[in-house]
Each structure stands twice: as C-alpha cells, then as structure tokens.
Copies of this chain bind each other. A is one copy, B any other.
C-alpha cells in the first residue's frame, strides 16, 4: 500500500474549509447557563432582510464558528473536561495497550499503520474511568437529584432563543386550532434543567456523553424533546487521510445530523475512530460487534465474550458515546425468522444468530449483559439496544420474532436501569403505514418509555433509489407518535454506499421528517420557523425564504434557474405564475382593500356595497405589477 497521497489530503483540507463556511446570513451565537454560568450553548442566528432575527438549533459545532481555530490533527477543544473533573469521581489511567489487531487483522502493513497512527498522535487523550465503586452516568447523577452542566446545557439547547418567536405568536383561537397532538408525550412549554434531570432519571431521555468524549456538545434523545436524527458514516475503502474522514463527519452535522454512527469495517478502524471522536461535537455511536468480528477474521463462531469485552473497553476509552448491542437476539427466537420473506437483515443480528446456532448456546451478549452494564457505567456509554430481528421488508413487519426480541429489550432496559446505565431501543426498519402505531405502542409499553430510535421505517419496498422518501414518510409518522431519534436512510439504501450528496439527501429528508413530527407533537416554538418562512414567502422576501430553509443554496439555485437576476430577489412574483399574475400579490391587494374599507368586519359583507365596489375599481382595481420584462 502506498503512502497517503498529499494532493488528496490537500483537497480534503480544502473541502473541509469550504464545509466550515457559515450558512448564508447566519451567525453562530452562544447562550450562557444560569446554574452553570460557563455554559456556551450554540444556536444559529439567521438575519432577515426586514431586520428580524430567527434563531435555530445548531448541530454543526465549532466548525461553523469563524472564531474557532480548528486543527483536525489536534482535535476539538474540550467542552466538558472541567465538568467531568469537577465531579471528582473519575480517574485517569494508562488504558488498554493498543494492538495491531485493533485496526484489522490484516493490517500487516505495519509501516502504513504506523503512519496513520502518527497522524493521530496529537489527538491522544489519556483515558478516564469511574473511580472504583463510582458510577459516572448522567442517569446516576439524575437519580441522585443532581442537575449536571450537561442537563442544563440540554435544557437551554432545546429551548433556544425564544424572543424572536413573539412576533409569530398567534391569537388564542389560532393557537387552539393549531395546537399539536403530542400522542401521549408530556412536553412542557419551557424545558427546565430540572425537567431534563427528571426525564433522564426516569429513563425517558438519555444524554449520550462518554466521559472520554469531552468535546461533545450535550444533546438529549427523548420523546419529550425535539426529535433527533442520526447519520451513518463509514471509513473509506482506502483510507487516505484524517481530513477525508473528518470531513464526512463535518458534512453530516452541517446539514443537521444530531448524532453520527461510525460503522467503519475492515482496516484501520481503531485509528479512524480516534480521528472522528476527537473531532466530533456530536455523540458518536458504534456497533462494537463489527470490530470484534474483524478481530476474529470474520468468523462469527469464533467470537468470544473476552474479545467482545476487550473491544467495548477499547472503544469506551476512545470516547464512543453509545454502543449498539444486539443482546435481544436470543437462541430461542432464531427459528421464528425461518418463515420470513427476508429472514434476518441486521448485520449484528445475523452475526449473533450464527453464533448461537453454531454453539447452540444462549447469546453471550444476553448472558453477560450485567457485565456489559459494569463497563457502560464506568464511562457513561449509553446502550442502544439493537433490533437484530427487525423486519427486512414490509411483509415481515410486526411479526413474532420482532416483538419477541422487543420484549427482551424491555427486560434488558430494566437491568440497565438497575445499573443506572442510559438506554435507548432500536426499532425497524420496514413497516407499512397502518402498522406503525402498533409498533410504537408496543415499544412504549414493553420498554417503559425508554427512547425509541428507529431506522425509517420504510413504508413500501418498491422504491429502490428513493428509499429516503419511502422511509421519510414512516419516520415522520413514528416521530410524531413518540420516536425520539430517527436514523436516516439515503437514496442508495439497498443499492450501494452513499456518496457525499447521498448523505446530504438523506439528512435533509430526515430533517423534514423530524421537523414534521415536532410540529405535529406541538413542540413549543417548532412552528415559528415555518411561520417566519411563510411570512417571508408572502412578503416576497425571496432571500429570507431561501435562508430560512433547510438548504438555502439549493433553494436559491432552483429559483435562479428561471429568474437569475438580483432584481428578481425582491420582485413580487416568481417564475411559476410570472409577473402578470400572482395570487399572493392579489391577496395582498384584497387584504389592503378589505382593511382600508372595513371589509374585515364580515357582517358588512352580507349587505350589498355597490359604492365600495365602484371605489375599488377607481382606486385599486388595477394594481398588477406592470408587464416590464424581468431578465
């Protein structure tokens, strides 16, 4: 294998620099804490052309802050280091000795590996763990009544700035008409730090935040908070440079990924993970069984608890915030998949099924679940209990295998909670619309309201190439019904590995689904951004309409295809209806007239008002934009 190509590295460095550009008219701002005054909770302020400022949730981390000095070879500044140290319940230690095997059994090219590890040399942090007898999870603190800085951070972040929303406050009648339907969720008007604590204590929300990931900007996953989304990334087939891998992460959080899962396989995955975690402001999740399998040469039967345990510690020391653990794939459930159309489609699920079959033993993940809890609570790694038996197509949805596993996940949730380990539950997958509600109800009941984290679900199977859309429908619905985090699906799902644009397409589709769910649930303030954009649309403030959207550049580009000139950005029409006839323009005329003539008082309309009609024709009946050419 060759040395990394310096040109490629340079190119990725350039790409990364471009990805750091703030969104148009946007400025990063920070909210201070009250209980913990050193908090700097990020928001993105969008300046509108009418002088207003709209402030939105910001997942992009310091990358979009022009004042942040970032060197991906050194990693991000610590956000939480002081808080963790302040609690006095952790200790630094030497950590597990790194093995060549950590980067893939076939990494026989030790020179190349040494090069790659050297690239990350400045990233190394000495690992922390809980002091003997201590439990360092957010859930543990929450149950003891402690409001951590992480919890206050989350509260501030969920509320965001609210002042600007006042002008979009509707009257009581409209508020009643538009009131959300929380579908059983209990969403307060304002999220207080105490509310966050209580939600974490009762297991209804998690704050994934490994003590070895001090760079993370805390966020919450729970049905009483904003719906979050997760994007998956993986290492390149031929890892070229730290810049390349970090750029993928930065790209995903730029478009709104709240969490990122690193699903790398094959070579150099330990080192790649170092690069990612040290440069990530969002929680990082992994599926440790993937790496464990690499360590045994891809032979599922050769997996052992010892190897798996060692891998958990390896990744916990690196700072991974949550682990997908398929501990619900029990020996007794495997036969339930035999009559399925598509069997077991989860990679982790099929690895464990194969292991159980080969040894005819109960899953070692299930049997060692309390041992796993002991590791999780020493670092505050959260469980993402994997749904290894999720359906792989609509016709396998909600079957006995799926729900048998879900029941076990509910049992494991209570075990995890006994250890104060934060836990969320993974869900399907493929579910037709009319079967989504049953899924959510089953999960809420069985898993005691632990946060649900679903992949889609896809509502149909006939849309390869468009599965981001087929699944955004299911994701929006299940999000409304109570799912706390939606794992994205890209257009390449079922077909191949997503490229940079696919990742963006998947994230935008899922931001739409998550926001649609927030609006439907009635999250306070969720609708305000829609109102601001709609108002900009009605006022023909084109630039504001673009800038308030999820993807300002694309919106503007689409608009400019037919009306490219700057003059059109303030024109009171668009190319859909043209300058001569615009319904919004007419509406405004109607409204002006109604207002000036007192027509808004409906009663007056019942009686004829011929004189007013004549007056309208005299004064305002011809208010069309003149037919001057635009381009």
A344 in the interface, Cβ–Cβ < 8 Å?
A: yes
Distance (Å) between the CB of A4 and the closest chain B CB? 22
A581 and B466 contact, CB distance less than 8 A: no
Chain B residues, CB < 8 A from A345: 583-584, 587
Q: Give bound CA distance, A64 to B613, whole Å.
A: 55
Residues of B within 8 A of A347 (CB): 577, 581, 583
**A561 and B360 within 8 A (CB):** no
For A266, A353, A609, the residue with the greatest tally of chain B CB atoms inside 10 Å of its CB is A353
Pick from B181, B473, B548, B588: contact of A513, CB under 8 Å: B473
Contact A616 B357 (CB under 8 A): yes
Contact in complex: A601, B527 (CB < 8 Å): no
| B interface footprint on A291-331 (CB within 8 Å = 1, 0 otherwise) | 00100001111000000000000000000000000000001
CB distance from A45 to the nearest CB of B (A): 16
Which residues of B have CB within 8 Å of A512? 459-460, 463, 466, 469-470, 473
- In the complex, A365→B300 CA distance in Å? 73
A23: interface (CB < 8 Å): no
Q: Does A93 contact B (CB under 8 A)?
A: no
In this complex, which of A473, A519, A586 has the most chain B Cβ atoms within 10 angstroms of its Cβ?
A: A473
Chain A: interface residue total (CB-CB under 8 A): 141
List the interface of chain A (C-beta within 8 A of B).
Answer: 170, 174, 177-178, 180-181, 265-266, 293, 298-301, 331-332, 334-339, 341-347, 349-351, 353-354, 357-361, 392-395, 397-399, 432-435, 459-466, 468-470, 472-473, 476-477, 480, 491-492, 494-497, 499, 508-509, 511-513, 515-517, 519-522, 527, 529-531, 533-535, 537-538, 545-546, 548-551, 554-555, 557-559, 561-563, 574-578, 580-581, 583-584, 586-591, 593-595, 599-602, 605-606, 608-610, 612-613, 616-617, 621-622, 624
Other contacts beyond A178-B395, A461-B530: 5, CB < 8 A: A265-B577, A265-B581, A335-B599, A349-B583, A462-B533
Closest CB pairs A-B (n = 6): A343-B587, A393-B534, A360-B613, A461-B530, A433-B520, A181-B434
20 contacts between A and B (CB under 8 A): A177-B399, A301-B617, A331-B605, A334-B605, A341-B538, A342-B587, A344-B587, A345-B587, A358-B616, A359-B613, A433-B480, A460-B515, A461-B533, A462-B548, A463-B512, A464-B555, A465-B549, A466-B551, A472-B472, A495-B574
